[in-house]
Amino acid sequence: MNHDQGPSAADLDAIDVEWPLIAAELDVLDAAISLIYAEDHGGPSAMDWRRVRRAEARVTRTAAELTARQHGHVCRLVEVALTTDCAYGCKVLRCRDCGGEQVSHRAVYGCPVGSSRAA
Ligand SMILES: [Zn+2]
Ligand SMILES: [Zn+2]
C-alpha cells in the first residue's frame, strides 16, 4: 500500500458528492445541540423539536438523492432493523427496489459514527 499519495480524484469526487449529506447531518447535530441547551432553559419548545425533525427529514431525503445518483434510481428506503454496527439504536434502511441496504447512523442518538461521518 502506498500512503504517500494524497486523495485521488475519485476520493475528491466522493467527498463532493457526499457533501450535501454531511451538511444535512451537521444541521441535525446543530439542532440536537440546541435541544440540549434548551433543556437547561425551560425545556425544548415545539419549534426546537420541529427543527430536529426537519433536519432529520432532510438527511433522509439527501441520502435518497445520493443513492439515486449512485444506483441510477431513487431508492425507496424502508426501516428494516436496528443495526448491530453500533449500540446506539441506529437504523438499517433497505431499498424496496434494489435491495440495497444502508445504515443511518445518527449523532442525535448519541452515535459517534453519525458525528464523524465526514471521515
Ligand atoms: Zn435502490
Ligand atoms: Zn450508529
Give me the residue spans of the domains in the chain: 9-115
Q: Which ligand is nearest to the CA of 99?
A: 1
Closest-approaching ligand to the CA atom of 115: 2
Average pLDDT value for residue range 82-108: 87
> Across the chain, how many H-helices and E-strands are there?
3, 3
18 has a pLDDT exceeding 90 = no
pLDDT greater at residue 111 or residue 93: 93
Confidence band for 64, pLDDT divided at 50, 70 and 90: confident
The pLDDT of residue 118: 43
State the pLDDT at residue 12.
73
Whole-angstrom distance, CA of residue 99 vs CA of residue 39: 40
Q: What percent of the chain has pLDDT over 70?
A: 90
- What's the chain's average pLDDT? 83
Q: Is the pLDDT of residue 54 over 90?
A: yes
- 72 alpha carbon, closest ligand: 1
CA of 5 to the centre of ligand 2 (A): 31
Task: Report percent pLDDT > 90 for the chain.
Answer: 30
- For residue 109, how far is its CA from the centre of ligand 2 (angstroms)? 8
**How far does residue 9's CA lie from ligand 2's centre (Å)?**
29
Mean pLDDT of 81-110: 87
Q: What is the mean pLDDT of residues 17-45?
A: 89
Give the C-alpha distances (Å, rounded to integers) separating 69 from 6, 89, 105.
26, 27, 21
Residue type, 78: V
